[in-house]
C-alpha cells in the first residue's frame, strides 16, 4: 500500500492550461526520474518542455535516456571544475542558454551553492528517497532500514543550501516490509518518485504564479 501525501491547500489547486514550463533537468546516474518526467510530458500530464539535460558523470545512463528522446544533453564533469561554485556557474549558464526557467534535480549527486540557488530562486526542486525531515543526506534507504521504521517514502522539496532542508511540496509513503533489502525498498520508493515528481513540479509552478496543468493519477 502506498499513499500520496499532499496538503489540502495544494491538492485543491485546479488544473489550468498555460504556456509550458521550461525545465533544465540535472542527473548523475540512471536517469529514471528524467524518463518519468518526460513520459508525463508526453502523456499530457505535465505541461512542460525539457530544454536541456545536464549530467556530471561521463558514463551516466541518463545521457542515453536523453538521446532516446532526442533531448539535448550537456556533460559538465564536476572533476574538471575548480570548485562547486564554478560547476554551478556552468550549470546556470547552460540552463539559461537553453532557455530554462526551472531546475529539476533528478538524482543529482552534487551539493549546490548559492550561485545556483540565487540564479533560480524558489525554482529548483529535488526528490529525496525518504519522508523528510527523516533520513536526509546519502543512503536514505539504508538509514531507514537501520532505524527499523515501518514506513518511509519519498519527498519533493525546494532546494536550499542545507542538504534536503527546503520546504516540502509533496510526499508519498511506502511501507517497509519485514523481508526488505535496500534494493527492494529502493525499487518501491522509486515507483512513487515517478508518480509524484511530475505533479509536484506542476504544483510548484502554480505556487510560483505560473499556471500549468496537473493530472495526478491515483
- What tens digit of pLDDT does each residue of 167-196 get? 999 999 999 999 999 999 999 999 999 999
The tally of CA atoms less than 13 A away on the side-chain side of residue 193 is 27
pTM: 0.88
Buried b (16+ CB within 10 A) or exposed e, 105-118: bbbbebebbebbbe
Catalytic entry in 78, 128, 157, 217: 128
In CATH terms, the fold of domain 3-7+21-207 is: Rossmann fold (3.40.50)
- What tens digit of pLDDT does each residue of 6-47 get? 443 334 433 443 689 999 999 999 999 999 999 999 999 999
Q: How confident is the model at residue 209 (pLDDT cuts 50, 70, 90)?
A: confident
Tell me the average pLDDT of the chain.
Answer: 90
Q: Is position 128 annotated as part of the catalytic site?
A: yes
Other beta carbons less than 10 A from residue 126's beta carbon: 24
- Sketch the domain layout of the chain as residue ranges: 3-7+21-207
Amino acid at each position: 500500500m502506498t499513499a500520496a501525501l499532499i496538503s489540502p491547500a495544494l491538492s485543491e489547486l485546479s488544473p489550468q492550461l498555460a504556456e509550458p514550463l521550461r525545465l533544465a533537468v540535472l542527473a548523475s546516474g540512471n536517469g529514471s526520474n528524467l524518463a518519468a518526467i518526460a513520459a508525463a510530458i508526453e502523456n499530457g500530464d505535465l505541461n512542460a518542455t525539457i530544454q536541456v539535460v545536464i549530467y556530471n558523470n561521463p558514463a551516466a545512463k541518463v545521457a542515453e535516456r536523453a538521446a532516446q528522446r532526442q533531448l539535448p544533453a550537456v556533460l559538465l564533469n564536476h572533476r574538471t571544475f575548480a570548485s562547486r561554485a564554478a560547476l554551478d556557474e556552468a550549470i546556470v549558464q547552460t540552463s539559461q542558454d537553453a532557455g530554462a526557467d526551472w531546475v529539476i534535480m533528478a538524482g543529482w549527486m552534487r551539493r549546490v551553492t548559492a550561485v545556483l540557488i540565487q540564479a533560480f530562486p524558489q525554482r529548483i526542486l529535488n526528490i529525496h528517497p525518504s519522508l523528510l525531515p527523516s533520513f536526509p543526506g546519502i543512503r536514505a534507504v539504508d538509514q531507514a532500514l537501520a532505524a527499523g521504521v515501518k514506513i518511509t517514502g519519498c519527498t519533493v522539496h525546494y532546494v536550499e543550501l542545507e542538504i534536503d532542508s527546503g520546504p516540502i511540496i509533496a510526499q508519498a509513503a511506502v511501507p517497509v516490509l519485514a523481508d526488505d533489502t535496500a534494493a527492494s525498498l529502493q525499487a518501491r520508493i522509486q515507483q512513487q518518485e515517478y508518480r509524484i515528481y511530475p505533479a509536484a513540479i506542476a504544483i510548484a509552478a502554480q505556487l510560483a504564479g505560473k499556471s500549468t496543468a496537473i493530472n495526478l493519477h491515483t
